[in-house]
Structure 1
Amino acid sequence: MSEQSHQPEHSGESITVMRVEPIYDTGIVVTSTAQEPGGKLADRHSAYHDNISPPLQWTSVPDAKAWAIIVEDPDAPRELPFVHWMIWNIEGGLTALPEAIGNVPDPVTPQGAVQGRNDMGGYGWFGPRPPQGHGVHRYYFQVFALSDRIEMGPESSLEEILNALKARTLAKGEMMATYEAPAAQ
């Protein structure tokens, strides 16, 4: 197999959105102006460049009291998908997040939101950084409309958040973006 046709090894576990059954059958449409034609996430959002969170927009869901977003890469060369972002308790009336939310557990915007740790150990967003020569990776931006806030702190694990999502998800949706390591200089 040539280096150019290399496909990433996939993790053995499903991403979070596949493990949560919502109350409503209606889905959520998730979009981002940071996604280029063809699906690639703009370079400024990758950890190879500026490593800032992308702006997101989603459709509203009646009765949503809060939102949660989880971004995972199932193409990471490891057993579990790589968690790039966990943010929850986004106020239910919102249907968008701005670009460049600070990488702190309690961001200024959106007020009241909580950011958990990504798989690099920091709070908030850690942008795509697939290994050189590993091919195109997929990044799933998963949005969950919740019937109530999640009363958990920033040290909560993905499994703890998943269990909370299972009990509170009204509707869910996702956007898949792609990214590949820049060519070695």
Structure 2
Amino acid sequence: MTLLGRLLHHRRAGETHTAWNLPNFQGPEQLTLTSRDFGDGDTMPLKHCAKQIDGDDLSPHLAWTPLPPGTAQLLLVVEDIDVPIPRPAVHCLALIDPATGHLEPGALSARQPGPGVRILRSTIGRGYHGPAPIKGHGPHRYVFELFALSAVVDSASGTTPADRARPRALLSTVTAPVLGRGRLTGVYER
């Protein structure tokens, strides 16, 4: 795998197609998203990485500053922007009740989500999927993006329930204005 990583070293999805850069997710950057498990731009601890690389697939603690008035729902998107495919891989997609306030470690589990958390489909499956970058590919950035929405997300395109929609389809159909947004980046390399 190390050879494959080196061969793909310069192939990265980049930020262009992240949720953060989609036209329908533009809004004031007034939320500060933090974790007591790692700082912005810091290496993520192994416990938050995928089981296939001896991690625990445990979603990290996440906290945010007060939400803007009128926030009906939060949307959390976790993307690997350094994966060697055309678009970032969505590692987790979740809707969160604004009254939640923060997420404890493991709150993004597909089997037992935390209070106020509704897990949606991701590129990989359901729930949080921790980092497992290709060996030798270099550092991968995992961007945790939190959006305060003015309306509840129920479906993608009005026909597919949000729980069944593919992540990119859901992201492209969110029309609720973004009242505030914030992001946190964790890094992992093998």
Q: TM-score, normalised by structure 2?
A: 0.80
CA contact (8 A) 1:64 1:93 kept: no
What does 1:156-175 correspond to in 2, within 5 Å? 156-175=165-184
Q: Which has the higher helix share?
A: 2
C-alpha distance in structure 2 between counterparts of 1:97 and 1:37, whole Å? 17
Q: Determine if the alignment matches structure 1 residue 149 to structure 2 residue 166.
A: no
Deviation at 1:51, TM superposition (A): 0.8
Q: State the match for 2:159 in structure 1.
A: none
Question: Mapping of 1:89-128 within 5 angstroms?
Answer: 90-101=96-107, 103-104=109-110, 107-111=112-116, 113-120=117-124, 122-128=125-131
1:52 corresponds to 2:58: yes
Tell me the amino acid that sits aligned with residue 175 of structure 1.
L
% identical aligned pairs: 27
CA distance in 2 between partners of 1:37 and 1:108 (Å): 24
Match of 2:12 in 1: 10
Count of matched residue positions in the alignment of Structure 1 and Structure 2: 172
Gaps of 5+ in 1: none
CA change 1:159–1:148 in 2 (3 A) is: same
The AA in structure 1 aligned to 2:26 is E
CA contact (8 A) 2:108 2:119 kept: no
Tell me which residue corresponds to 1:42: 45
Q: Unmatched 5+ residue regions in structure 2?
A: 156-161
Asked if structure 2 preserves the Cα contact closer than 8 Å seen for 1:21 and 1:166, the reply is no
TM superposition shift of 1:102: 5.5
Q: Which amino acid aligns with 2:178?
A: T
TM-score by length of 1: 0.82
The residue type paired with residue 119 of structure 1 is T
